Amino acid sequence: MFIFKFFHDWIKHFVIEIQRLFFFSIRMTLALFGRPIYPAETFEQMYLIGVGSLFLVILTGMSAGQAMALEFANELADFGSKNYLGRVMILAIVRELGPILTGIMVASRVAAGITSEIGAMKSSKQLDALVAFGIDPMRKLAAPRLISLLIMVPALTIVCDIISLIGGWMVSVFIAHITSLTYWTAVRQKLMFGNIFIGLFKPFVFALIIGYISCYKGFTSAGGTKGVGRATTESVMISSITILISNFIITKFFSGFLKAYL
């Protein structure tokens, strides 16, 4: 009976949270339209999200690209197909590795910052002060962060893709002994519309996930500083898990319905 009650309460809480997040996401999306707008806050968040995450994305992309190229080169060498390394790398990086790595890195860094900042403002009654002055916290705080994520996450993904491909090129030339012409020719052959579309569609979805969840956890945090810390942890965890699940769903969808472009 205890186990049954535990799962019953957990499912009930989960469904309620999903419902609240859904309606919050609608409100947050509507806040993107209309006036007033806050361009200064938007550009500030773009700088904090984009430039602040750039080094992390570059380091992650370079390390992951080199590691994958080394593993792929060793496996392809067994079949005498090392010249196809560029084709394999473009599929792995542009369609999967680049978006998922960027999404996880941004979720780990940015989601925690957004949730803790908004949660701290709520804990110190600053959100109530904004409302008292006639300022909509959703437009002032949530909308600029969502816009910034929608712009910077795809941009960071492109940077991660390029750096990962360069890391793969370094391995192919200096370790796998593949010429630069062979590698980049194979890359160009697979750099098609379908692969690029998937590689840029995923970051937009990941940006929405990070923005909705992190802002929701910040606005609904309770319990003082301890509650803010708990909300920050939950924000990073839920964002990362949702990104992984949505990545599989998107990949499955496009693999089934857009084979002509893949």
| pLDDT tens profile 126-166 | 888 888 888 888 888 888 999 999 999 999 999 999 999 99
What's residue 83's pLDDT? Answer: 81
In a domain, residue 262? The reply is: no
Q: Identify whether residues 47 and 22 lie together within a single domain.
A: no
Q: Identify whether residues 188 and 250 lie together within a single domain.
A: yes
pTM for the complete prediction? 0.89
Contact, 246 vs 201, CB < 8 A?
no
Q: Identify whether residues 105 and 52 lie together within a single domain.
A: yes
Q: Identify whether residues 181 and 96 lie together within a single domain.
A: yes
Q: Identify whether residues 1 and 43 lie together within a single domain.
A: no
Tell me the C-alpha distance between 157 and 99, whole Å.
6
Residues of the chain with pLDDT under 70: 1-2, 5-6, 8, 256-262
Q: Identify whether residues 2 and 104 lie together within a single domain.
A: no
In a domain, residue 205? The reply is: yes
Q: Identify whether residues 15 and 53 lie together within a single domain.
A: no
Q: Identify whether residues 188 and 78 lie together within a single domain.
A: yes
Q: Identify whether residues 129 and 11 lie together within a single domain.
A: no
Smallest CA-to-CA distance from 120 within 211, 21, 240, 231 is with: 231
What's residue 262's pLDDT? Answer: 47
Smallest CA-to-CA distance from 211 within 239, 233, 183 is with: 239
What's residue 6's pLDDT? Answer: 65
Contact, 213 vs 146, CB < 8 A?
no
What is the span of the domain harbouring residue 23? Answer: 1-30
Tell me the C-alpha distance between 197 and 194, whole Å.
5
Q: Identify whether residues 106 and 48 lie together within a single domain.
A: yes
Q: Identify whether residues 26 and 136 lie together within a single domain.
A: no
In a domain, residue 52? The reply is: yes
What's residue 136's pLDDT? Answer: 84
In a domain, residue 48? The reply is: yes
Q: Identify whether residues 112 and 161 lie together within a single domain.
A: yes
Full 3-state SS string of the chain: CHHHHHHHHHHHHHHHHHHHHHHHHHHHHHCCCCCCCCHHHHHHHHHHHHHHHHHHHHHHHHHHHHHHHHHHHHHHHHCCCHHHHHHHHHHHHHHHHHHHHHHHHHHHHHHHHHHHHHHHHHHCCHHHHHHHCCCCHHHHHHHHHHHHHHHHHHHHHHHHHHHHHHHHHHHHHHCCCCCHHHHHHHHHHHCCHHHHHHHHHHHHHHHHHHHHHHHHHHHCCCCHHHHHHHHHHHHHHHHHHHHHHHHHHHHHHHHHHCCCCC
Give the chain's domain count: 2
Contact, 89 vs 188, CB < 8 A?
no
